[in-house]
Amino acid sequence: MKVLLLTIAILSLVACGGGEDSSVQNNNQASAGSLQTEEEKIALSSLNALDVAAATFGARSSIMEAGSSSFAVNLNSPSSLSKTVNLSGIATKTVTSVAPASVAGFEQTFACHGSGFVSIIPQMANPETGFAPGDYVTSQFNNCVDSMQNSLHGEVTLIFSYIEGKIFASSTFSYTADIEFEDLQAADNNGFRVNINGDISVTQVSTEESTTIEISSSRINMGGSQNLVLETLYSTDIEYKDTSTYTSESSGKITDQNLGGEVSFITSKLFEGFLGEYPSSGEMEISGAAGSKIRVSAISAEQVNIAIDADGDGQFEDSFNHAWDSLEHAL
């Protein structure tokens, strides 16, 4: 998926087709929860299936962007905003930007590719030894515009609770951190805007063979053009370095005012694909009012199938194929 910034995973929308992975489904169901009332849920049908699938997959992309060059990010990397904001990608830029700050141990300001700047402000118990649990860093984006004319303005604070190894300075390291978004304003050159408030928890484990990212959040508010709330979010993304492939899963609940209610989603079959591509296999299930469901199944890295069970009887009475790229831009 091509979203605002490259992902930390995420994360945030992804094993081969075939049998269902029950452990994934059970894990996601536990994560997603079921707090909705029937009055709040959206009744799913053929009339809104494409919009709901696009919005849900977009929300999923907000915490995960599997299949992109996730882990080598810099402040000037070009990207596109699409119809969602990649929170983990913003977080990744924050994390990777602390590398020079962790060496210097003091505030530094970097020019963005297009215009504006970002200030990296570390708070460290011992700057000589680098970041340690309890240390934190704040990134203050001041009308930071990249080469694709996407912009960021506001604050992101990253607070470390666990660190092993030198973060991003070697191929083997791990960390756990909370990332707080405070009125972070993101916009693209097509007029799409969103204000982000909330926090996510991130755990990354990098080895010689793979990089694994887990992300969770109880609540993220995204106002503006997107105008939705993400809740009980969970995602796991694994990038396999030797094969240039990824797998990912996610779950959660979104309330989308543009669609008039809320839906929950789980990954019923792990998504898988090659880095830089949409998933070629995997399945996501979206649940709405009165048992209605939408199933989003990867056919290939280019095509996805959307199936609808409008009456909640467990039978998908209608389905159609759609291009991955068009799905992302459906709204």
pLDDT tens for 116-137 read 988 888 888 887 777 789 988 8
CB neighbour burial string for 146-179, b if at least 16 within 10 angstroms, e if fewer: bebbbbbbbbbbbbbeebeeebbeeeebbbbbeb
CA separation, residue 192 to residues 70, 97, 230, 293, 295 (Å) = 23, 26, 18, 29, 27
| Tokens read off for 32 | 């997603």
Tell me the C-alpha distance between 102 and 304, whole Å. 43
Residue type, 44: L
Calculate ∠ Cα 33-87-7, nearest 5°: 105
The neighbour count for residue 188, using CB atoms within 10 Å, is 21
Q: Give φ, ψ of 30 to 5 degrees.
A: -65, -35
Q: Which residues of the chain carry a pLDDT beneath 70? A: 1-39, 59-106, 168-169, 226, 328-331
Nearest alpha-carbon partner for 90 in 181, 195, 212: 181
Please state the domain extents for the chain.
22-328
Say what the pLDDT of residue 285 is.
96
Say what the pLDDT of residue 182 is.
86
Say what the pLDDT of residue 174 is.
92
Say what the pLDDT of residue 81 is.
30
